[in-house]
């Protein structure tokens, strides 16, 4: 708007200058007005140039701002992608932690159950060891009883052999029942021998085997 006004003023002054030249009394005043108009025109041209330079700079700044905005948008998109990826990773990590927590709980329950089994096994093993000791003691007692029986049987045989040899192969009771002319002394000797045999036989009689305490049945 200012440029148009200055241009119109310049044209008026130019026309006036031609008129002043035509007239004889147009003098120094017209020249002074022309110089002012020319100075104003130069000032306006300088302002126009400055405005154009400023407009070009603004355009450059706008273009740079657009490029920066595009770069920021691109970085923002990458950031959103990274954020979404991090969210997925966090969810996967949470799922993994929950799975590990459940696994730890399962292992803890299994360990508790195994401790119970171990305690039961230890109790069962202890009972078996006690039963084994009882069985071993019973076997040793029975072996001792068998040895005692064998020794007693051996002595009984020796006693019978002694009596048979003493009475020339006759049974002691047969000798007593026979009508042989035994004297009272001989009869008494035979009775004494029979009583001695009876006592020795009683001494050698083996008591029935008494086993150890019964073995406890472990369920």
Q: What is the pLDDT of residues 169-184, one digit of tens each?
A: 555 555 555 544 444 4
Instruction: Flag whether pLDDT at 30 surpasses 80.
Output: no
- Proportion of the chain above pLDDT 90, given as a percent: 8
Domain boundaries, the chain: 135-204
Q: Name the band, by pLDDT with cuts 50, 70 and 90, for residue 166.
A: low
pTM over 0.85: no
Instruction: Flag whether pLDDT at 140 surpasses 80.
Output: yes
Nearest to 191 by CA among 201, 176, 205, 180: 176
Q: What is the pLDDT of residues 104-120, one digit of tens each?
A: 889 999 989 998 899 99
When mean pLDDT is compared over 6-20, 52-66, 192-206, the highest value belongs to 52-66
Q: Check residue 218 and give its pLDDT.
A: 43
Q: Name the band, by pLDDT with cuts 50, 70 and 90, for residue 130.
A: very high
């Amino acid at each position: 708007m200012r440029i148009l006004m200055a241009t119109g003023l310049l044209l008026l002054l130019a026309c006036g200058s031609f008129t002043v030249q035509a007239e004889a009394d147009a003098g120094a005043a017209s020249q002074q007005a022309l110089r002012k108009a020319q100075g104003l025109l130069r000032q306006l041209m300088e302002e126009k140039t400055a405005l154009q330079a400023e407009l070009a700079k603004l355009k450059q700044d706008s273009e740079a701002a657009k490029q920066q905005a595009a770069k920021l948008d691109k970085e923002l998109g990458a950031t959103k992608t990274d954020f979404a990826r991090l969210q997925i990773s966090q969810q996967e990590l949470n799922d993994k932690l929950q799975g590990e927590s459940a696994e730890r709980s399962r292992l803890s329950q299994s360990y508790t159950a195994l401790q119970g089994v171990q305690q039961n096994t230890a109790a069962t093993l202890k009972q078996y060891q006690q039963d084994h000791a009882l069985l071993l003691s019973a076997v040793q007692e029975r072996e001792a009883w068998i040895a005692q029986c064998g020794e007693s049987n051996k002595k009984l045989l020796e006693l019978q052999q002694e009596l048979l040899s003493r009475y020339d192969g006759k049974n002691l009771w047969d000798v007593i029942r026979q009508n042989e002319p035994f004297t009272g002394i001989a009869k008494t000797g035979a009775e004494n021998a029979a009583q001695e045999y009876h006592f020795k036989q009683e001494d050698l009689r083996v008591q029935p085997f008494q086993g150890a305490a019964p073995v406890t049945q472990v369920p």
